[in-house]
Amino acid sequence: MEDNSSRVDSILRKLRQTGLRITPQRLAILKALSENKEHPGAGEIYAAVKAEFPTTSIATVYKTLAVMKTIGEVLELEFSNDYNRYDGNTPGAHPHLICVKCRRIVDPELASLDEMTEKLASETGYTIISHRLDFYGVCPECRQKE
């Protein structure tokens, strides 16, 4: 896995390549994203950024996240009830394990998904672009508290 700084660096490289500007706000947002492995929401990223860059606005956070999505460097996990969560560390599609009690989201190891995808494509004739696989459950910590 890439460490924080190399992750930020590779995103910066991609921004330059694409002709997008590197502003202090964007840097702070990227730093906050790469330091938080917990799939934060826009509000959490905003809070972290504002701590050291108080003039930042939530709109800028959203706009920056939108740009990152577009260039494929951030994965957005949509929820219609809860707020959306963002993953800046592993931008490719991968399974998530969501605790329904504490709402923590972790990235489990899981093979055999590629195989499943190929089979689906050949059986249905669809061109598969991406996927979303979320498991909902109760994490060991929350179960203990019951």
Residue in 51, 66, 102, 113 binding a second copy, rule: CB under 8 A? 113
How far is residue 96's CA from residue 107's CA, in Å, rounded to a whole number?
Answer: 5
Positions in 12-51 near a second copy (CB under 8 A):
none
In this chain, which of 21, 112, 114, 145 binds a second copy, going by CB under 8 A? 112
Query: Does 70 contact DNA by CB under 7 A?
Result: no
From DNA, a second copy, none, interface partner of 66 (C-beta below 5 to 8 A by class) = DNA
Closest CA to 85 of 130, 33, 29: 33
Binding of residue 20 to DNA (CB under 7 A): yes
Which of 21, 54, 59, 81 touches a second copy by CB under 8 A? 81
Closest CA to 29 of 82, 1, 2, 67: 67
Residue 121 vs residues 39, 76, 97, 128: alpha-carbon distances, Å: 29, 24, 25, 6
- Asked if 96 contacts 133 with a C-beta cutoff of 8 angstroms, the reply is yes
Tokens found for residue 18:
């694409």
Query: Given the complex with DNA, which of 74 and 99 has the nearer CB atom?
Result: 74
Q: Which residues bind a second copy (CB under 8 A)?
A: 78-81, 84, 97, 99-100, 106, 108-110, 112-113, 116-117, 119-121, 123-140, 143
